[in-house]
Every structure is written in C-alpha cells, then in structure tokens.
Amino acid sequence: MSAQVRPAAIVTGASRGIGAEIARRLAVEGHDLTISARGREALDDLATELREAHGVDVLVVTTDMSSEDDVRRLAHEHADHFKRLDVLVLNAGMGDIGAFADYPVRRFDKMYMVNVRSAFVLTQDLLPLLRTAGSSTVRGGKIIAIASTTGVVGEPLNSAYGATKAALISWCETISTEESVGGVVATAVCPGYVATDMTKGLSDTLSQDHMLPVADVAEAALSLTRLSRQTVVPSIVLTRPGAHLWRA
C-alpha cells in the first residue's frame, strides 16, 4: 500500500509575521510546504524548524514579488517539486502610508506589482494544480489572500495601500464566481492593523498592544482550509475592539 499523500501549500511572505505563523499552523496539520520571501536566512531557519518539529517536506524559494520572472519561477519550482497544490496563501505584501495629494506614483506602481499583480500571475500559473485539488479532494483548492480593512473602508493616508487591497478583495470574489463550481475557492482575509514588524512605525499613534495578534489572523486563515469545497467565503474582516469597528 502506498503512503498517504500529504496536502501541499504555498505561503508567500513567509519569513516572519503572519506568513510564518500560517506556515507553522499548516505544518502542524500535515501540509508539505513551499515558503517564499526575499531573504533566504529566515526562510531556511523556518524550514528547518518545520521539518524537525512536524516531519513535513519544506521547499524554500526566495522570491521578489515585484519580479514577474521570480513569481513564475516560484510557481514552477513548487509544481516541479510537489506536483500538487491544495492551499495557496498570498501573504507577501508591501505597506506604505502617505497623503494622496503628494503620494509618489512610482511607489504606488511598485505596491500594485507586489500586492496585486504578483497574486494574479502566481495564481494563473498554479490554477491547473488548484483545479485538480478542487475536483479530487473534499476540501478542494483554497486561495487565501491576506488583504486589509483598508480595502473595505477608506482610511486616511491609505489611498495607495487601500486601493491595492480593495483590488485583491474584488479579485478573490471574481475567482470564486468563475472557479468555485469546480472546487477552487478564494477568500480575502481583511484584518485591521496587526502587531508585526510592518506596523512598528505606527507606535506613536497606535500601540501594538492594541493591534490584532498575529495568531488570530493566522487562525482565521487556517480555519478556511478546514472547510469543504461546498462552502464559499468571499472575505473575512477582523477588526479591533472599540466604538468604531470599520477602522484599521
């Protein structure tokens, strides 16, 4: 009798924060993994941790998500190594704030490349594998994009970042309308400010103690992987306690 084939997942932006925590939780549940980010050292450390703690296969692929060649190489290396894909976590992202009136267009272009275009290209290349999971497994093929509440409701100084996250939310909805009958479902997870390295610069106006814990965002993402292919969740919004819920 052949050994049971473990589910396979990709987590982008996996070197720290939300991505690293999602990768850990997927490994606990028995997923083989491809993890990617720009830097190699942190990925190698995480890969060693997951292999030793959970006995899963972990492929490390350094990737600059603003480079189409890098994004396509990530898809190719995962497909070549695992030959299947059950969960695609699109966590890699670029964050930046600034008033719209003088926000540099070149910076917006870079943010769009990283936050939206890379997800579009990577998922197109991996869609055949996701469709196979969608038609052959109970849980189907899952696409989980880490978006933001700033893509749901406008937030001062977030015209560029919020626009990219709104695009990601709309893109997830459209993928589900086109692919969910075949078992491929996309969900945008939309948290407010999360206590990560990316938000440390906001400490003058908002303490990280008042931000969302990384563990809660990772748990929300992981919960989606446990659902059957019969359930479509377009988006999940996670916000901070307080009198006004629609805020980052």
Contact 122, 70 (CB under 8 A): no
CB contact set of 227 (below 8 Å; sequence gap of 6+): 139, 185, 233
φ, ψ dihedrals at 166, nearest 5°: -65, -40
Rg (CA), the chain: 17
Residue 71 CA to residue 215 CA, distance in Å, equals 27
Q: Which helix (H) or strand (E) segment is 128 a member of?
A: helix 118-136
Residue 99 CA to residue 58 CA, distance in Å, equals 41
Catalytic positions, written as ranges: 161
- The dihedral region occupied by 189, where left means phi > 0, alpha psi between -120 and 50, and beta the remainder, is beta
CB contact set of 141 (below 8 Å; sequence gap of 6+): 85, 86, 87, 88, 129, 130, 131, 132, 133, 134, 179, 183, 184, 185, 229
